[in-house]
Amino acid sequence: MVFNQKRVLFVLIFVQVLLLGIWFYLRLYYWSGKVLRVVEVEESPLSFFSPFGKGVDFEIANLLAKKHKLKLKWQKVPVFKDAFFLLKQGKVDVIVGVPTKIKINDPKLAKGPNYIKDNFLFIHNKYRYPLRRFDELCKYKVIVPLSSLLLLKIKEYDEVLSCPINYEIIQKKEQDVYKVMAENKARFMLTDKIRFNSLNPYFLDLRKTYEFKTKFFHVWIWTKQYKKLNKMLEEFWHSAQTKEFMDATREIYYGFFRDNVDYYQLEHLRMIIRKKLPLYKQDILDVCQKFKLDPLFLIAQIYQESHFNPKARSRTGVRGLLQLSSNTASWIGIDNRLNPRQSILGGAKYMAFLVDRIAKRGVKGWNKWCMALAAYNQGLGHLYDAMDLVKLQGKDARLWSNVKEVYPLLSYRKYYKKSRYGYCRGYEAITYVQNVRYYYYMLSLLTFFGGGEGDYLRSFFPFRPNS
Residues with catalytic roles:
305
Before 201, cis peptide (omega within 30)? no
Give the integer Cα–Cα distance in Å for 258 and 199. 13
Residue in 334, 348, 344, 252 with CA at minimum distance from that of residue 293: 348
Q: What is the DSSP code (8-state) at residue 93?
A: S
State residue 98 phi and psi, 5-degree precision: -85, 120
Rg of the chain over all Cα atoms, to the nearest angstrom: 27
Q: Which residues pair with 23 in a beta bridge?
A: none
3-state secondary structure of 391: helix
Dihedral angle over CA of 381, 386, 387, 388, nearest 10: 90
Q: How far is residue 60's CA from residue 246's CA, in Å, rounded to a whole number?
A: 7
3-state helix, strand, coil in the chain (%, to 5): 55, 15, 35
Half-sphere exposure of 222 (CA within 13 A, CB side): 23
Q: How many residues does the chain have?
A: 467
AA letter at 13: I
Q: CA 175 → CA 207, 319, 329, 341, 460, distances in Å?
A: 15, 40, 44, 38, 24
